Amino acid sequence: MDRVILHSDMNNFYASVECLYDSSLRDKPIAVGGDPEQRHGIVLAKNYIAKAYGIQTGEALWQAKKKCPDIIFVPPHFERYLRFSQLARKIYYDFTDQIEPFGLDEVWLDVTGSKTLFGSGKKIADEIRERVKKELGITVSIGVSYNKIFAKLGSDMKKPDAITEIYPDNYSEKIWRLPVGKLLYVGPSTQKKLRYYGIYTIGDLANTDTKYLQSWFGINGIMLWQFANGLDNSPVSIIGAKSQVKSIGNSTTTPKDLTCDDDVKITLFLLSESVATRLRECGLLCHTVLIYVRDNKLQSFERQIKLEDPVCVSDIIADKAFYLFKTNMQQEYAVRSLGVRACDLTMDCNRQIGLLPESVRIMRQEDLENAVDNIRRRFGHYAIRRGIMLADKSLSTLNPKDDHIIHPVAFMR
């Protein structure tokens, strides 16, 4: 039986939800973003009116303001987006339990086994689209195909409130003419390299000899060729299944430029506490610490270091992060953004208990941080804090427990 895969994408999700809460915004250019005064200033989402001015997700708020002086910036309300995401998934669950989230606003659905109950993939997509519009007041675009890659591509092709079908007998006609950057997992760097080799469209990629792609990109080159030719067989996860976690990280744009080591230490400790807390909650240890640094000239870099022993202790993660910073940053600096990520993860239950003094010290430190976790769970994050945080209250207002990012392992391994 041929698979029927849907990819549902809620249109301008954050902006659409904000317009539901404030109807006066509907006919105005709006962008959901951070606080300009605190400089958490990038566009997270925009409506179609703002999009017409050329405003793009991820650009700085000042850049958006330059393109559209009348734009209205709305602060994000993630509790609202989470609620609507959960409500949408309840609708999806009426049709299948094979639901794989791709962020808050996107999901894949495998409705192969639902056809006998609800009809064709197109019919199911139409019913989902109408129910989301009627029950939630927002719109979705849905791609219907026989694999996840083409379903995702279909949901991107027509927006808003539309359905696109891509099947084995029409995919070359529908998608091969599209820019290669439209294909999932072809980012700006990969697209630039593909263009260097004369590959501009998905069709160009599909018709390139795999031996060349493998020599340029390794195994990922074969994967991209398979995607372009519709050879993706990756399954849609069953709802509730937990993805394998690849890395855990946190980053922030600071409310002021960091120009001294103490300011950097405060921020790195905050971020490292976020990472270490989430590691412990997931029962994981990290073998590698990675930092991301961007200065006030928007120049950035990443560096990583391997640990002697896997840990989930914020002190060690922060110390390694600061070591990476000091060994890779110029003597005079003005840092605008910092990020810390724990990589190369392993399960805590697989750890070999050591008897050396350093291993004992790490275990004791872990016990201490578990005790801190319990206090914060009962009385809030700010119930107990490090003394260094009192040195600069403007930098220590970040709640690292609530602001974290988990990077699951993608299906293309």
Q: Is 335 in contact with 258 (CB distance < 8 Å)?
A: yes
For 196, half-sphere exposure in the C-beta direction (CA atoms, 13 angstrom radius) is: 10
Minimal CA–CA distance to 294: which of 251, 327, 262? 251
Exposure pattern of 381-404 as b/e (b: 16+ CB <10 Å)? Answer: beeeebeebeebeebbebebbeeb
Q: Tokens 């769970």 appear where?
A: 377
Check if 332 is active-site: no
From CA 6, how far away is CA 121, in angstroms rounded? 7
**What single-letter DSSP state applies at residue 183?**
S
Cβ-Cβ contacts under 8 Å for 191 (sequence gap 6 or more): 179, 180, 181
Helix axes 210-217, 188-196, angle to 10 degrees: 130
From CA 33, how far away is CA 42, in angstroms rounded? 6
User: What is the DSSP track for 9-36?
Assistant: EETTHHHHHHHHH-GGGTTS-EEEE--T
Q: CA of 197: how far to CAs of 206, 215, 216, in Å?
A: 14, 12, 9
From CA 372, how far away is CA 385, in angstroms rounded? 9
Q: CA of 27: how far to CAs of 19, 169, 259, 305, in Å?
A: 9, 41, 42, 50
- Which of 18, 59, 100, 106 is catalytic? The answer is 106
Sign (positive or negative) of CA dihedral 392, 397, 402, 408: negative
Minimal CA–CA distance to 272: which of 247, 251, 296, 243? 251
Q: Is 167 in contact with 173 (CB distance < 8 Å)?
A: no
In what order do the strands lie in the sheet containing 43-46?
Answer: 43-46, 30-33, 72-74
The residues annotated with a catalytic role in the active site are 106
